[in-house]
Structure 1
């Protein structure tokens, strides 16, 4: 008789174990989907990170090229020195132009004289 008394308890325990297993499976199915979504998100994040790293490398190379080009350009003091020198040259050219005007006038008169002599 003891066996008949234990059977409802064993049956109840098996039902409880089955119910707990069913609940565990239901809850873990969401975990699997969540784990898949997290894995997919991590892969996408890694892909984006790789793209960002490639862009950073590209920008670094471009910056280095610009910096090397800028090293050859004159600095502020050199540009100022060039401006001063150009002003000086411009002044000398103006002076030379004033000095050449009388010579040009003389050459013009000489040409006119020679043309008059050639016509006679």
Structure 2
């Protein structure tokens, strides 16, 4: 082989290498935009995680507040006790009416004596 043939093969190889380099650059150009999208998505994921943590904290505080409140059975017991107390107060009111009448008669008597 003479030097001209070497030159042809070398130029062909360099041309193929150049084309492969351009092809690699074209294929990898999507990676950069994809990397940017991944970074943006990571930022959004971080924001969502922070928001989720704040919601979890708020839910825990609400659960703590609700823990001391009565449940259905406890509320029913409270309602029954209040009904009993209402009945007892009504009974006391009826029993105190004669005492009120006595007080009014005594007041009238004292007013008559004062005249």
TM-score bracket, shorter-length normalisation: 0.7 to 0.9
Q: Please list, as runs of the form range in 1=range in 2, the aligned pairs for 1:43-62 lying within 5 A after superposition.
A: 43-62=39-58
Higher mean C-alpha deviation, range 90-99 or range 52-61:
52-61
Two-structure CA RMSD over aligned residues (Å): 2.2
Unmatched 5+ stretches in structure 1: none
Counterpart for residue 35 of structure 1: 31
- Number of residue equivalences: 115
Counterpart CA distance in 2 for 1:94 and 1:30 is 92
TM-score, with length taken from structure 2 = 0.80
Counterpart for residue 82 of structure 2: 86
Unmatched 5+ stretches in structure 2: none
Counterpart CA distance in 2 for 1:30 and 1:67 is 56
Q: Please list, as runs of the form range in 1=range in 2, the aligned pairs for 1:1-120 lying within 5 A after superposition.
A: 3=2, 7=4, 9=5, 12-13=8-9, 16-17=12-13, 19-119=15-115
TM-score, with length taken from structure 1 = 0.78
